[in-house]
Structure 1
Amino acid sequence: MKRNLMNKFTLKILSLAVAILLWLLVVNIEDPVRSETYWEVPVTIVNESYLTSDLRIPLLVEGSDTVTVRIQAESSVLREIDRDSITAEADMTQIISMDTTPYMVPVRVICPGVSDENITVMPANIPIETDDLTTQAMTISASVGNTRPESGYEVGKLTVNPEKVTISGPEDLISKLDRVVADVDVSSMDQSGSISAPLHIYDKNGDELTDTQMSYLNLQGAENNTVSVDVDLWRVKTDINIQVESSGTPEDGYQVSDITTVPNTLSVAGTEEALKELEDNGNTITIPASEVDVSGKNADFEQTVDIEDLLPDDIMLARDISSSVIVSVTILPYDSKEYVIPSTKIDRSKQPENMTAVIMDDSVTVRVRGSDEDLENLKEDDIKLSIDTSKYTKEGEQEVPVNVTLPEGYELVDEVTVRVNLTPSAERQSEE
C-alpha cells in the first residue's frame, strides 16, 4: 500500500515538471503578445527654439512632468524594456493651441522595437508653462571639496578657464542663481596640471539646482557643462618656527621675562621659491611687535594671533592646521627669575587618613626675587616644595597650595598652587 502511494506521488511530481517544461517550451516558441505598464516616465521638451525665437522658454509643470506608458508587444520584446529605455517627448511645434494658458502639448513616446500603434500614453497631453528668456554672466569659483592630493602636497592655487560663464534660461530661475562652482577632484595628485571639472550651480538658498532646473539652462562657453581648471600644487614643509616680537614697556618695576607660543611650530605649504626664501630666513615666521603690546602690564597675559594673516606671499598653512596661535607673555618684577620644577620633587608625606593624593600637574612654576648674582647662583635643587593634604576630606580634584622654602636672601614673588586628585586608599576601599 505504501509503495502504491509513493508511486502515485512520484507520478504527480513528474507530471507537474513535464507540464512546466511544456509550458516554457510553448511560451518560448509561440512568444505570445501581452501588455506591460510603466509608471512615471519623465517627459522632456524638444524643439524649445519654437518659442525661444520670441524670447520665451517652455517649462514643465511640476506634478505633470511624467506620464504612464502601456506597451503591447511580444514577451521577448517586453523583457528587454524598462522605464529608462522609454523616451517621452513634448514637442513644442505640436502645441494644440497658442490661446491657452498653460499651453497643452501632446506627448509622443518612443520605445525601440515597438511601433507607435502599440504604445498608449496617459495623459496624452500635458501642460507647458513659459517664462521670459534672459541671460546673465557669472564668475566661476573652484572647489576641491573633500578630495586631497598626495601626502606632502597642498592645493596652492586653482585657476578656472574660462573664468566666467554666460547662462541663458527662464527669468524666474536666473534671478535665483547665486554661484557657479567647478568641482575639482585632486585625489592622489602629486604634480601640478589641468583637470576637466563639472560645473554645479547653486541658488540663493545654497541649494544645488536639480537636473530638471539645469535642463532649462544653456551655459555658453562651458562645453557639456564642464571647464578646465589649472591646479597648482605646493609642497608641504614642517617644523616652521614661530618667533614673537613685542612692543611697549611693562609697568615700572616689571619686565618681560619670556614669550612662548602654542603651538611653537607650524606646517606650511608654498611654492618652491617661497619655501626657499623661508629657509633663508631660518624657517621662521615672525609675529610682529604690533601684534603683542606689553604696555603697562604687571602680570602674565595671553593673546590670540591669526597667523594666517602674517604669512609671506605664496605661503599657506597646511591642511588641518589652525590659524590661531596663542602667545603667552611672562611678566616678572625686576630682580626676579622663574623656575619650572617637576611635580615629582614635591614632598607629599602629609596626606589625609584613608586617602591618596595624586598630583595632576607635571610641573609647577616658582618665581623668586633676589639680586642678579644670587639668582644666577640659585639652583632648582635649592628650592624645596611640599604640600599638606592631611586636612582634606573631600574626594576629587583640589587646588592645593604649595609650600615653598627658599634659601636665605631670596623672596617668593607669587603664591604657588598645584592640582591634586584625592581618592580613597586601598585600605578604605577594602573596608567599604
Structure 2
Amino acid sequence: MKKNLTKNIPLKIMSVIVGILVWLIVVNVDNPIVTKGFVITDVQIINEAYVDQLGQMVMQDDRENSVRVYITGERKTVNRLTSSDIKAVADLQQAESIDTDPVMIPIVATCQGILPENIKVSPQNLSVHLEKKVTKEFAINVSSGDSKAAQGMEIASLTANPEKVRVTGPESLVGKIDGVSVDVSSKVDGIAQDTTITDAEMTITDKNQDTLSSNSMSYLKFDNNGKVNVTAKLWKVRSDIRISAGYTGEPAEGYTVDSVTTVPETFSVAGSEEALNNLKLQGNTIYLDNENVDISGKSNDVEKKINLAELLPEGLKLTSGSSEDLWITVNILPEGSKIYSFPTEDIKVKNLPDDLQMAFEVADVELKVQAEDGDLSKFNLKSVSASLSMDDWEEGSYEVPIKVNLPDGYKLLEKATAEIKVSKVSNADAENSQ
C-alpha cells in the first residue's frame, strides 16, 4: 500500500498544479477584473467651518457640476454598484492653499467593499471660490395674484410673519437680490374668513426680476429656514357708495355754477366693521374736501382728476379692480342758463336708407339752454324737438350734429352732438321688415 502512494510522485504534483491553473483560468474567464466609471453630481464639501471662521463662504465653480469615479474589481461586484453606492467628499482642510483663486480641494471617493487603491477620481480636485460672507435684511412682499375672496368679501391685507427676513450668503450673490416675496394666491382664493397660511415658501428675485436658481439658493441661509406665515384679513364689501364733491371760489362775473358731477357717480368699497358703520351713518356717501377744485374767475367748465383711494377714510379701501381715478367736473354757465338732458330716443332720424340701421351710442344728449330774459322757470323740455339727417349715410361710427328747435325766447349756448353707429341691416331684419 505504501508503495502505491509514493509511486509517480512528480506526475501527481504536476497534476495538482495543472488543476489549480485550470481553476484560476475558469474563475477569471467567468468573473474577470473590470473597471467601470460612475458620474457623481453631489460632491460633498466638508469642514466648511475651516473658512467660515475667517468670514468666508465656499462657492463651487459652475463649470464643474460633476466628477467621474472609476472603480476596479470583479465584474460581478462592480456591475452591482450604482452611483448612490459611492460617496465623494472634498475636505477643505486638505486644500493645498486657501489663498489661491480658485481653491483646489482634493476629492476622495469611497465605496463599501472596494479597497481605496481600486478607486480613482477624475478630476482629482474640486475647484471652488471663497467669497466674503455677508448678511442683509429684506422686507417680505406678499401677493395674492388674481385670487379673490368669497362673494361679498375683499382681501383687506396680507401680513407676513415675520415681515422681514435676514439672508446670509456670498457677497456677490446677496448683492444680486432685489426682493423677497411670498405668493399665497392658491391659498386665499375663495376664502370667507380671516385665514393664516403657515410655512409659505419665499421666492427670491434678482435685479433682472428673474427667480434665483435652486443652485444659487443652496448657498443662501434664511431666518426660519425660509418659511413664513401669512395672515389674510378680510373686509366686507359695500356697493353704490356715492360721492359728494364741491368747489371753492366763485366763477367770473356774469357766470354761475350749474352743477357738480363726478365720474364715476358711485363705486364700491371694502371696509372694517367700524368704518362701514360710520359710512352708513353718512348715508353711504363720501364727502370730499371742497379745496380739491378751485373755480375762482372761471367762465368755462372746470374738470380735475384726483386719486379717490387717497381720500377714503381710514378703514376703507377700493375693491380690487376698481380705478383709483375720479373726475370732478364743475359746470359753469352764463347766468340764466342751465344744462338739460334730452333723450336720444326722442330725436327724429331722417333720410336713413332702408338697407342701413342706426343706433345712438348714448341715452341722452346735453343741451345748454339760456333764456334771453334770464328766466328759465317756464322752460319745458317737452317743447323741444330734435332731428338728425345726413347727406351720405355709410357704415361706421360718427359724432354728428343734432338740429335742435327751441321755443321762442331761448337759445343754445353750444351746438348739440351725438355719437352714432351706422351698420347694414341683417338678413333676418330685412325679412322681418317685409
TM-score by length of 1: 0.76
Cα distance, 1:342 vs structure 2 = 1.8
**Distance in structure 1 (CA, Å) of the matches to 2:149 and 2:420:** 47
Q: Pick which of 306-315 and 354-363 moved more.
A: 354-363
Q: Pick which of 138-147 and 37-46 moved more.
A: 37-46
Cα distance, 1:232 vs structure 2 = 2.2
Counterparts of 1:34-183 in structure 2, within 5 Å, are: 41-68=41-68, 89-98=89-98, 100-107=100-107, 121-183=121-183
Q: Kindly provide the CA deviation profile for residues 120-162 of structure 1, in whole angstroms up to 9, marking residues without a partner as x.
A: 6543422011012233333433333444433333332333333
Specify whether residues 115 and 243 from structure 1 end up closer, same or farther in structure 2 by C-alpha distance, changes over 3 A only.
farther
- Contact persistence 1:41–1:88 (CA under 8 A): no
**Distance in structure 2 (CA, Å) of the matches to 1:46 and 1:399:** 79
Q: Which has the larger radius of gyration?
A: 2
Specify whether residues 238 and 109 from structure 1 end up closer, same or farther in structure 2 by C-alpha distance, changes over 3 A only.
farther
Match of residue 235 from structure 1: 236
Match of residue 209 from structure 1: 212
User: 1:341 is matched by which residue type in structure 2?
Assistant: F
Secondary structure in 2 matching 1:402: strand
Specify whether residues 171 and 349 from structure 1 end up closer, same or farther in structure 2 by C-alpha distance, changes over 3 A only.
closer
**Distance in structure 2 (CA, Å) of the matches to 1:109 and 1:155:** 55
Cα distance, 1:60 vs structure 2 = 0.4
Match of residue 197 from structure 2: 195
Cα distance, 1:384 vs structure 2 = 1.0
Match of residue 292 from structure 2: 291
- Contact persistence 1:343–1:359 (CA under 8 A): no
Match of residue 18 from structure 2: none
Among all aligned residue pairs of Structure 1 and Structure 2, give the percentage whose two residues are the same amino acid.
Answer: 34
Specify whether residues 274 and 67 from structure 1 end up closer, same or farther in structure 2 by C-alpha distance, changes over 3 A only.
farther
Secondary structure in 2 matching 1:278: helix
Secondary structure in 1 matching 2:376: helix
Match of residue 15 from structure 2: none
Cα distance, 1:75 vs structure 2 = 10
Q: Kindly provide the CA deviation profile for residues 64-86 of structure 1, in whole angstroms up to 9, marking residues without a partner as x.
A: 133346788779967xx688x98
Counterparts of 1:382-401 in structure 2, within 5 Å, are: 382-389=383-390, 391-392=391-392, 396-401=396-401
Cα distance, 1:319 vs structure 2 = 0.8
Secondary structure in 1 matching 2:41: strand
Q: Pick which of 156-165 and 266-275 moved more.
A: 156-165
User: 2:319 is matched by which residue type in structure 1?
Assistant: A
- Contact persistence 2:156–2:235 (CA under 8 A): yes
Secondary structure in 2 matching 1:50: helix
Match of residue 12 from structure 2: none
- Contact persistence 2:357–2:425 (CA under 8 A): no
Cα distance, 1:36 vs structure 2 = 8.0
Cα distance, 1:265 vs structure 2 = 1.6
Specify whether residues 124 and 328 from structure 1 end up closer, same or farther in structure 2 by C-alpha distance, changes over 3 A only.
same
- Contact persistence 1:254–1:332 (CA under 8 A): yes
Match of residue 275 from structure 2: 274
Q: Pick which of 321-330 and 41-50 moved more.
A: 41-50
- Contact persistence 1:370–1:411 (CA under 8 A): yes
Q: Kindly provide the CA deviation profile for residues 42-66 of structure 1, in whole angstroms up to 9, marking residues without a partner as x.
A: 5453432121012221110111133
**Distance in structure 2 (CA, Å) of the matches to 1:376 and 1:86:** 101
- Contact persistence 1:355–1:422 (CA under 8 A): no
Secondary structure in 1 matching 2:51: helix
Cα distance, 1:211 vs structure 2 = 2.0
Match of residue 376 from structure 2: 375
Q: Pick which of 164-173 and 52-61 moved more.
A: 164-173
Specify whether residues 163 and 99 from structure 1 end up closer, same or farther in structure 2 by C-alpha distance, changes over 3 A only.
closer
Secondary structure in 2 matching 1:376: coil
**Distance in structure 1 (CA, Å) of the matches to 2:267 and 2:333:** 28
**Distance in structure 1 (CA, Å) of the matches to 2:345 and 2:236:** 43
Specify whether residues 150 and 116 from structure 1 end up closer, same or farther in structure 2 by C-alpha distance, changes over 3 A only.
farther
Tell me the C-alpha RMSD between the 2 structures. Answer: 3.8
- Contact persistence 1:107–1:125 (CA under 8 A): yes
Secondary structure in 2 matching 1:224: helix
- Contact persistence 1:33–1:73 (CA under 8 A): no
**Distance in structure 1 (CA, Å) of the matches to 2:380 and 2:244:** 28
Specify whether residues 115 and 296 from structure 1 end up closer, same or farther in structure 2 by C-alpha distance, changes over 3 A only.
farther
Cα distance, 1:307 vs structure 2 = 0.2
Specify whether residues 386 and 393 from structure 1 end up closer, same or farther in structure 2 by C-alpha distance, changes over 3 A only.
closer
Gaps of 5+ in 2: 1-29
**Distance in structure 2 (CA, Å) of the matches to 1:275 and 1:73:** 79
Secondary structure in 1 matching 2:295: coil
- Contact persistence 1:180–1:199 (CA under 8 A): yes
Match of residue 262 from structure 1: 263
User: 2:220 is matched by which residue type in structure 1?
Assistant: L
Q: Pick which of 404-413 and 61-70 moved more.
A: 61-70
Cα distance, 1:378 vs structure 2 = 2.8
Secondary structure in 1 matching 2:279: helix
Match of residue 20 from structure 2: none
Secondary structure in 1 matching 2:188: coil
Cα distance, 1:311 vs structure 2 = 0.8
Number of residue pairs matched by the alignment = 391
Secondary structure in 2 matching 1:231: strand
Cα distance, 1:225 vs structure 2 = 1.0
Gaps of 5+ in 1: 1-29
Cα distance, 1:189 vs structure 2 = 2.8
**Distance in structure 2 (CA, Å) of the matches to 1:382 and 1:145:** 55
**Distance in structure 2 (CA, Å) of the matches to 1:347 and 1:82:** 88
- Contact persistence 2:40–2:88 (CA under 8 A): no
Secondary structure in 1 matching 2:338: strand
- Contact persistence 2:295–2:302 (CA under 8 A): no
